[in-house]
A and B are shown apart, each in its own frame.
Chain A
Amino acid sequence: MAMAINSSAHRLVSPTNEPTWVRWTLILVGVLFMALFLVLPLVAVFSEAFRQGIGAYFDALRQPDALSAIRLTLLVAAIAVPLNVVFGIAASWAIAKYEFKGKAFLTTLIDLPFSVSPVISGLVYVLLFGSGSLLGPWLKSYGIEILFAVPGIVLATIFVTFPFVARELIPLMQDQGTGDEEAALSLGASGWQTFWRVTLPNIKWGLLYGVLLCNARAMGEFGAVAVVSGKIRGQTTTMPLQVEMFYNEYQGTAAFALASLLALLALVTLVLKTVLEWRFSDELAATGRGH
């Protein structure tokens, strides 16, 4: 029996694969690029933050300015994220469950804030409520401050995080169709009952995914908030703005300590996002990853 060993096997690689040395070269280049551009900055944040020891790190975080920045950031996210969740659910319900004219256009419009520079997102509110506008002075006469105050920061944050929840839910709800809702209605459920008991459980992981990304951006937004905040110490500085202030005042440790909290938030977001993608990939929208 001629059970010949194929001596040429090493020469003939699988037709849909590259030679081993090509494969490992490509992997090496890709990994090095990611290490240089993604991992190194992350490492730099923490190493700079702890450069002067753990004591200095926690002292920096205990400063009143740092604490008030953390409080403001949490407050802004606590207002902006729920509002965008309500909007995201309403918009995806209207777009995914019905057929109407201009639907594709509306879907494109919702993504609009992604293609606008964050600085412009802040600028539009300055123009709307600033001293040269009609609205600003009128509101001011009633004692309502929008610009260089918390409402302006919240508005700018809502603007830049506007699409996150909606763009996750729309494709998800479109994939799921209207069958479940029609079944619930035919069984006698009311509209609200259908939403709470049928639709919401179907989209909960997708919703969480959208909230996660929305929150990360809301807490980390810099450009838009910088323009509307006025940067009043202890009053209108969010965490990213306070990072900039410390940095410009040559308080490196303080800047990086505060930055490390934001980096930690980013890491937690990434981990949760990855877990959601692994565990519930079929309950998330197939499209619309990222941003």
Chain B
Amino acid sequence: MSRFGRFRQPSVIPGFGLTFGFTIAYFSLIILIPLIALVFRSAGLGWGGFWAAALDPRVLASLRTSFVTALIAAGINVVFGTLIAWVLVRYRFPGRRIFDAMVDLPFALPTAVAGIALTAIYAPNGVIGQLVAPLGWRIAYTPVGITIAMIFIGLPFVVRTIQPILEEVSKEVEEASATLGANRFQTISRVILPSLTPAILTGFALAFARAVGEYGSVIFIAGNIPFVSEIAPLLIVIRLEEYNYTGAAVIAMVMLAISFVMLFIINLIQAWSRKRYGYGN
């Protein structure tokens, strides 16, 4: 174990070599080497070839669809997710614990199941599709349908990020605000919500990142019309079915780059809020 002596602090507990070695080996085999294969494949195109493939109009359209719908879905989730977190933390009502448990359903329900269920509900002959059809609205097989699926899978990220921070906001702080003359609306908007800002931003970023990459729950309800309701992950699958591996790799690289930026931003938000306010998650 002396080999690791330089970079780790001494400890009497045995097993560092074994566990650390296994961790690195397993991570490399399962995650790292496959990801490197992706980078190599798209690098094989060269700089010009890469950009030509990435800037293909259909690719751009699919990225735009994915991003716009994911942004809208994350935005809606922030509003309702914050509200739901508030209701679950602050109020007592019949069925609260069941609803609290249900928030995690999108984590547990396989995406394909969610996909066909949402399609069944929002298709023109479905429970809700029927309601809006007379108004001339279509939800399934349009970008609206994509957004709905993304709201479904993103909701728990927002709720579960905000909930613990909201539980931490002490009653004393709200009372302090009231004694200083702030009415309830001012206390909520100037004291409680600002202290939740880092959590809300983190929840937004997590829900957005998940929605951009989502596949299973979206493809059934999307309609998958090129340039209209075709999401980027689906285009990867289509490129693969065309045996255009390099084309698939290029789209994947663009999406990976974006998720890494999101990951970086999330870490930044949390480091910032930890440093300044002394909390974060």
Contact = CB atoms under 8 A, between A and B. Distances in A.
Q: Do chains A and B touch in the complex (CB under 8 A)?
A: yes
Interface of A: 15-16, 18, 23, 26-27, 29-31, 33-34, 37-42, 44-45, 48, 86-87, 89-91, 93-95, 97-102, 106, 108-110, 112-113, 115-120, 123-128, 130-133, 155, 158-159, 162, 178, 181-182, 185, 191, 194-195, 213, 216, 219-223, 226-227, 239-241, 243-244, 247, 255-256, 259, 262-263, 265-267, 269-271, 273-274, 286-287, 289-291
Nearest to B97: A274
Contact of B34 (A101, A127, A291): A127
Given A26-B91, A87-B26, A113 B83 contact: no
Contacts, number: 296
Interface stretch (B51-59, B132-140, B170-178): B170-178
Given A18-B184, A100-B8, A240-B112, A123 B248 contact: yes
A123 B4 CA distance: 35
Nearest to B161: A290
Interface of B: 4, 7-9, 11-16, 18-20, 22-23, 26-27, 30-31, 33-35, 37-38, 41, 80, 83-84, 86-88, 91, 93, 95, 97, 99, 101-118, 120-121, 126-128, 148, 151-152, 155-157, 160, 164, 171, 174-175, 178-179, 184, 209, 212-216, 220, 233-234, 236-237, 240, 243, 245, 248-249, 252, 255-256, 259-260, 262-263, 267, 281
Contacts of A23: 91
Given A124-B34, A127-B41, A266 B19 contact: no
Contact of B84 (A30, A39, A42, A45): A30
Nearest to B248: A123
A266 B110 contact: yes
Contact of B215 (A98, A216, A223, A274): A223
A219 B110 contact: yes
B15 A91 contact: no
Given A33-B80, A132-B245, A119 B16 contact: no
Contact of A270 (B15, B91, B108): B108
Q: Which 8 A-B residue pairs are closest in the complex by CB-CB distance?
A: A220-B110, A117-B213, A100-B8, A222-B216, A124-B34, A223-B215, A191-B14, A15-B178
A181 B11 CA distance: 11
A37 B22 contact: no
Main secondary structure of the interface of B (DSSP, over half): helix
B19 A159 contact: no
26 contacts: A26-B86, A26-B87, A26-B91, A29-B83, A30-B84, A40-B127, A44-B121, A87-B23, A90-B26, A91-B27, A94-B23, A109-B31, A110-B27, A115-B260, A116-B213, A116-B259, A119-B233, A120-B236, A123-B236, A221-B110, A226-B215, A247-B116, A270-B108, A271-B101, A287-B281, A290-B157
Contacts of A216: 107-108
A98 B160 contact: no
A27 B87 contact: yes
B111 A16 contact: no
B120 A290 contact: no
Nearest to B111: A222
B127 A44 contact: yes
Nearest to A247: B116
B102 A244 contact: no
A93 B17 CA distance: 11
B105 A270 contact: yes
Contacts of B255: 117, 120
B144 to A, nearest CB: 14
A15 B220 CA distance: 48
Nearest to B116: A247
A131 B18 CA distance: 35
A287 B212 CA distance: 24
B31 A112 contact: yes
Contacts of B262: 115
A117 B248 CA distance: 13
Contacts of A30: 80, 83-84, 86-88, 99
A291 to B, nearest CB: 6
A106 B213 CA distance: 23
Given A109-B27, A118-B213, A97 B11 contact: yes
Nearest to A113: B31
